[in-house]
Structure 1
């Protein structure tokens, strides 16, 4: 039986969401001075308002197979080789490079996720618990309560648990989204002009308030104590940001091309882009690119933005996937037995 063809619309959404991740990390070093780089800070805050919630929702939608048949012999293997093993490799690699860049010798810490590797730990936890969420009557509501409860606690950095819990509702929402929901967003024509208006209004708002908006809220890894507000204020802010993220995510999906194009095949390598682009950003930081007068100019911002988009595609290309497949998608055939031929279906 032939394998089902990939969904071009979903692939395009994955690729564009990954490009937003790369752009966000590229703009981040320039967004710290709100008065000097107000436009960049506004773009940065707009992207951070929804890009990771969107990324997590897409991941949830694509993780439904882990919940559908958790007892399948290949599920555990795929879970380990797609999350935990790459986490061990990249968490070690990023920390080794950071030690080299800073000329320090900190011990490798695999309990506290470093930089962007937190997402692999989160994805492992979310996928392991996916069957539970799909067996609840109101999974998104329960996940939202968990998110709100996490803001009342001062969670330590181990496993980046605060971020896992604060992004949890978006993953669960992705798990529960049905194909017809995405088709409605894709095919409803009036949503496209409405989406343009939503993004225009959001950009105007964040540009106006950019100097006053604290970035800590947008990272979703701090509770009320770390943000120095009451839990009630934190809860209202977290719910407001979640609602904004949902509206912006729907607007984004309404603008995603539905048809296959020349770039669509690159979506198969978005995990490569996610895990590898951080090294480019870290190397650029080592050379203090954010202090360059050219980079701070309008032409400079356009240039680094174009390079970020280019890197999104290059890092997802077939040559890069062949070169780094051992780290991003390790097969580990030596560690697992092939039980597919001997396993019997459940009655």
Structure 2
């Protein structure tokens, strides 16, 4: 029996054009003859393929053959992982909208960071400022780290994410580490540039780079939080030096791993109506406790960078204190997240660009140092502290605003497509674009 793809009496199409609706009818190929590519017992003319394999549709003269996709690139993706135009039959995956809850949390968290640096130089003269400083430092960086860990749960070594780690963390670290050292040199007359010893606030960028690299490891461990906590406690029992600010990298690691292990339902608990008043009460209690503890607690504990020996405590005492710090930080982080607004507000979009505020506000703080503005007596009063807090809120908001983002994106979020190639594969391994043609060749023999 003969199957034909054209109606009876119709003229056959020219040999160089593909038959209407494709060369092969829909469904399984029967053992028979199909015109314009006769199939007899599974053999296809004009490119014979045994075992019923279907050859590619013939192309018109002058039409170039389409090369298989480069290894590591998906259909509809431009070379280098850049978004391209999807193929006609391919559906583009809808982009998941950002959760305003986490953007809101990051916005208020970065205001705490700027506020802490703004009142640092007046805390010795203003008891309220000292208590507030201690309170802020108990949880503001742990808050950022937990959120960062949670948002890094799906991080892998895929080409796109690995490149973003380089361009959005590694490159800004190098750029601003050098920039801050040059800025300090101009202000103090001393130039020391070392990428191995992060300058002041740059420790977080270094730690973030290392934490992200370790993410696939923690995703494979059965008890990641316990292992990370063990590393943290052991790291303070020895002086590991200042390279990469390693005490902070290892010391705060459990908070990053905690974020990796959290699930959306954990945050839903903090969004219940009862959570907000409880969170507010916990934060108020934490501030009151900080006011009482300000004259009895060594401040070095809140910086997470000093080994037990330098704190003049035994390993047992230091371990107990570190565990207590983790408990306090976790409770305060949860309390803070409980009072964060849930919906979308005018500041929600700013939460997506808090890294700009983090990297840029240090220049303003150091400028005040170099100009000796801290010598003004009015700053060392309660009203002066309030003014500093208000100014820090304005500064933090301005530095993550769209105009600043447009001006500084070249340094903080550089594209750098010129610096990357397509994903390399070990020699001898065929990429996905080469596997199918080779299989067809084996079947044709």
Q: TM-score range by the shorter chain?
A: over 0.9
Tell me how far apart the structure 1 counterparts of residues 122 and 262 of structure 2 sit (CA, whole Å): 36
Work out the number of aligned pairs and report it: 337
Query: Secondary structure of the residue that 1:137 maps to in structure 2?
Result: coil
Q: Which moved more, 1:320-329 or 1:208-217?
A: 208-217
Query: Secondary structure of the residue that 1:30 maps to in structure 2?
Result: coil
CA contact (8 A) 1:42 1:207 kept: yes
Q: 1:81 to 1:344 in 2, by over 3 A?
A: farther
Tell me how far apart the structure 2 counterparts of residues 5 and 46 of structure 1 sit (CA, whole Å): 33
Whether 1:45 aligns to 2:134 is yes
Which residue pairs with 1:207 in the alignment? 291
CA contact (8 A) 1:270 1:316 kept: yes
Which residue pairs with 2:186 in the alignment? 100
Which residue pairs with 1:259 in the alignment? 343
Tell me how far apart the structure 2 counterparts of residues 85 and 38 of structure 1 sit (CA, whole Å): 40
Which residue pairs with 2:307 in the alignment? 223
Tell me how far apart the structure 1 counterparts of residues 215 and 378 of structure 2 sit (CA, whole Å): 47
Structure 1 unmatched ranges of 5 or more: none
CA contact (8 A) 1:38 1:211 kept: no
Which residue pairs with 1:55 in the alignment? 144
Tell me how far apart the structure 1 counterparts of residues 121 and 203 of structure 2 sit (CA, whole Å): 19
Whether 1:9 aligns to 2:66 is no
Which residue pairs with 1:111 in the alignment? 196
Tell me how far apart the structure 1 counterparts of residues 220 and 360 of structure 2 sit (CA, whole Å): 36
TM-score by length of structure 2 reads 0.73
Which residue pairs with 1:151 in the alignment? 236
* Aligned alpha-carbon RMSD (Å): 1.7
Tell me how far apart the structure 2 counterparts of residues 39 and 338 of structure 1 sit (CA, whole Å): 56
Cα distance, 1:223 vs structure 2: 1.0
Tell me how far apart the structure 2 counterparts of residues 208 and 290 of structure 1 sit (CA, whole Å): 26
Tell me how far apart the structure 1 counterparts of residues 413 and 283 of structure 2 sit (CA, whole Å): 35
Which whole-Å deviations, capped at 9, do the CAs of 1:194-214 have from their partners, x for residues lacking one? 112211211111112212221
Cα distance, 1:307 vs structure 2: 1.0
Cα distance, 1:82 vs structure 2: 1.5
Cα distance, 1:338 vs structure 2: 5.2
Query: Secondary structure of the residue that 1:77 maps to in structure 2?
Result: helix
CA contact (8 A) 2:122 2:385 kept: no
Which residue pairs with 1:65 in the alignment? 154
Tell me how far apart the structure 2 counterparts of residues 54 and 239 of structure 1 sit (CA, whole Å): 17
Which whole-Å deviations, capped at 9, do the CAs of 1:157-209 have from their partners, x for residues lacking one? 011001000110000000111111112112x2222111122112111111122
Tell me how far apart the structure 2 counterparts of residues 94 and 330 of structure 1 sit (CA, whole Å): 19
Query: Secondary structure of the residue that 2:420 maps to in structure 1?
Result: coil
Q: Which moved more, 1:117-126 or 1:189-198?
A: 189-198
Structure 2 unmatched ranges of 5 or more: 1-91, 425-430, 436-445
Which residue pairs with 2:325 in the alignment? 241
TM-score by length of structure 1 reads 0.93
Cα distance, 1:337 vs structure 2: 2.6
Q: Which has the larger radius of gyration?
A: 2
Tell me how far apart the structure 2 counterparts of residues 339 and 233 of structure 1 sit (CA, whole Å): 50
Which residue pairs with 2:122 in the alignment? 30
CA contact (8 A) 1:126 1:168 kept: yes
Whether 1:196 aligns to 2:280 is yes
CA contact (8 A) 2:128 2:382 kept: no
Whether 1:19 aligns to 2:111 is yes
Which residue pairs with 1:81 in the alignment? 167
Name segments (4+ residues, structure 1) moved above 3 Å. none
Query: Secondary structure of the residue that 1:4 maps to in structure 2?
Result: coil
Aligned with 1:120 (options 205, 230, 233): 205
CA contact (8 A) 2:178 2:193 kept: yes
Aligned with 1:175 (options 260, 266, 279): 260
Q: 1:258 to 1:27 in 2, by over 3 A?
A: same
Greater relative contact order structure (CA < 8 Å, 6+ sep): 1
